[in-house]
Amino acid sequence: MKRTALPLSLLCLAAALTACSGDGEDGKETADKPKASAPASQTKQAGPAERVAQLLVTKAEAGGFSISEPAANDALAKSQSELTSNKTDCAPLAYALNELPIGTPEASLVRVTNSDKGMLTYITLATYATGKAEAAMKGLTAAADACGGGFTAKSSAGTTAYDSVTVETAPAGGDESLATAATFTYRGATQTLRTQTFRFGDTIANYFTLNTTAFVQGGLGNGVIPTALVKAQNAKLG
């Protein structure tokens, strides 16, 4: 999200959010009986993109939370290759804080939802080849531990300088989980962003929240990830 260098897109986004079977004789199948289904081994398997789309929570399942695609110009970077960090070890955390998947997924998608009190939450779902999700979580955990003193994320669209990163107690869920709080300063006020990341087998769900009301108004901001939204999405994964 273009928070520090290019806040205009966020201002526009915030405004938009607040405005508003047997055989026959001789072993032959009879004409009035359907043919047996093909063996499961012959059934076409869904590809990674299809699988991750099927795992996304719907508005009905999410208890009324809006589920929509982010604005085209909302992200600081559209891919990992477009986002750099001044500290290489912090790259996975930079991705998690900017709506990008961590590690090397086979497919991923991002959706955004708004809730009360100006919270804007991004859900990044990603599916991985065997063993790659575990590696991605390991990299993110290492980044959270190594980058407590802050780091800078940069792309051609802008720059965000994070002042600090704190590992918080992660909610139970999945095979493993991680929660972080990261801060940056905007108009002299501290903004606290939060992430919660869960691995369910070969799938990872990352939740990232920013308090857009505080950001737009230039006051202290404390992002709080909606518990109900996390429970609803995680229920589809595990």
The CATH number given to whatever domain includes residue 190 is 3.40.1000
The rounded distance, in Å, linking the Cα atoms of 143 and 203 is 20
Does the residue 94 lie in any domain?
yes
Does the residue 26 lie in any domain?
no
Residue 135 has pLDDT above 60, yes or no: yes
pLDDT-derived band of residue 108, with 50, 70 and 90 as boundaries?
Answer: very high
Does the residue 217 lie in any domain?
yes
| Residue 35 DSSP code | P
Report which residue type is found at 194.
R
Residue bearing the bigger pLDDT, 20 or 1: 1
pTM of the model: 0.82
Does the residue 54 lie in any domain?
no
Predicted pLDDT of residue 118 = 84
- Burial-class residue 41 by CB neighbours within 10 Å (0-12, 13-18, 19+): exposed
Report which residue type is found at 72.
A
Which residues share a beta bridge with 174? none
Does the residue 51 lie in any domain?
no
Does the residue 180 lie in any domain?
yes
Are residues 107 and 129 in contact, defined by beta-carbon separation less than 8 angstroms?
no
Residue bearing the bigger pLDDT, 185 or 17: 185
Does the residue 99 lie in any domain?
yes
Average pLDDT, stretch 184-193? Answer: 94
Place of tokens 């990830």: 225
Q: What is the count of structural domains for the chain?
A: 1
Are residues 168 and 183 in contact, defined by beta-carbon separation less than 8 angstroms?
no
Least confident of 28-37, 81-90, 159-168: 28-37
Predicted pLDDT of residue 44 = 62
Predicted pLDDT of residue 74 = 82
Write down the mean pLDDT value for the chain.
85
Average pLDDT, stretch 188-194? Answer: 95
Average pLDDT, stretch 7-36? Answer: 38
Determine the structural domain holding residue 125 and report its residue range.
8-17+65-237
